[in-house]
């Protein structure tokens, strides 16, 4: 990790804090779910780094299979604790999600084999855009000013780092 990457990471995290909107005088307004959201990126980063290392010796399909098996094993107890049999329509959506998600993981892993992760993951900021658009389309929930500002901070830090990395500085 270069200094520039650390700066971009911290600026991006400040954008996440803007999206979460902690209350004045502390973080009393941050819920358990928000803490999970803050803790997830380092875990995802670790997973991506492991996938990158594995691409040296293993095929992408094998890496994706093992990632999915481990996630299934680790989260099975939580799923079983509140299991309800899905309907036919829900099974269809689950299978579609599994197919598209596996395809995305496969493409990511293939990209890791030929490029640096920081170059491959620069479009990750679009997750906030897609989540906002889906929130509007499905629930009529429009992002607030803090979410928009936080998203712009995340976008700025990502684009700044991508431009810097592209120049090789």
- Distance between CA 19 and CA 125 in Å, rounded? 13
Q: What is the predicted pLDDT for the residue at 73?
A: 94
Q: How far is CA 57 from CA 60, 123, 166, in A?
A: 10, 26, 27
Residue 36 has pLDDT above 70, yes or no: yes
Residue 12 has pLDDT above 60, yes or no: yes
Helix axes 60-81, 88-114, angle to 10 degrees: 140
Q: How far is CA 84 from CA 13, 42, 149, in A?
A: 36, 31, 39
Q: Tell me the pLDDT band of 76, cut-offs 50, 70 and 90.
A: very high
Which comes out higher in pLDDT, residue 123 or 17? 17
- Identify the burial level of 13 via C-beta atoms within 10 angstroms of its C-beta, where 0-12 means exposed, 13-18 middle and 19 or more buried: middle
């Amino acid at each position: 990790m270069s200094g520039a990457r650390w700066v971009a990471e911290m600026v991006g995290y400040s954008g996440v804090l803007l999206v979460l909107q902690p209350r004045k005088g502390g973080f009393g307004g941050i819920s358990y779910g928000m803490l999970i959201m803050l803790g997830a990126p380092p875990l995802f980063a670790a997973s991506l780094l492991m996938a990158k290392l594995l691409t040296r010796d293993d095929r992408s399909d094998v890496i994706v299979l093992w990632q999915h098996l481990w996630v299934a094993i680790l989260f099975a107890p939580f799923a079983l604790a509140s299991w309800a049999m899905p309907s036919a329509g829900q099974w269809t959506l689950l299978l579609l999600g599994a197919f598209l998600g596996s395809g995305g993981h496969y493409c990511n892993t293939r990209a890791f084999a030929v490029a640096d992760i920081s170059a491959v993951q620069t479009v990750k900021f679009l997750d906030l855009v897609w989540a906002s658009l889906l929130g509007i389309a499905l629930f009529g929930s429009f992002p607030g000013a803090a979410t928009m500002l936080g998203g712009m901070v995340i976008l700025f830090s990502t684009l700044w780092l991508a431009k810097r990395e592209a120049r090789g500085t």
